Amino acid sequence: MPYVNIRITREGATSEQKARLIQGATQLLVEVLGKNPQTTVVVIDEVDTDNWGIGGESVTVRRKRGQ
């Protein structure tokens, strides 16, 4: 019954990578807490780099500097 929300910047994650995140997060809950995978929900949010900040500036600005 767990709900897992993975938030990442939108920088080209493929469907295959997102499938691996879903599979891996579900497996983690099964292994660590014995949760039922059939009712484990994983939602991935991809956020524009203009809309994600760390260190007081956007990821867009950081990427331009090569970070």
**CA atoms lying within 13 Å on the CB side of residue 59:** 10
For residues 45 and 24, give the distance between their C-alpha atoms in angstroms, rounded to a whole number: 16
Residue 10 is a binding residue for a copy of itself (CB under 8 A): no
Residue 8's CB is within 10 A of a number of other CB atoms, namely 14
Name the minimum Å distance from CB 35 to a copy of itself: 7
Q: Choose, by CB under 8 A, the member of 47, 64, 65, 66 that binds a copy of itself.
A: 47
Q: Which residues bind a copy of itself (CB under 8 A)?
A: 1-9, 13, 15, 17-29, 31-33, 35, 37-47, 50-61
Which residue numbers are catalytic? 2
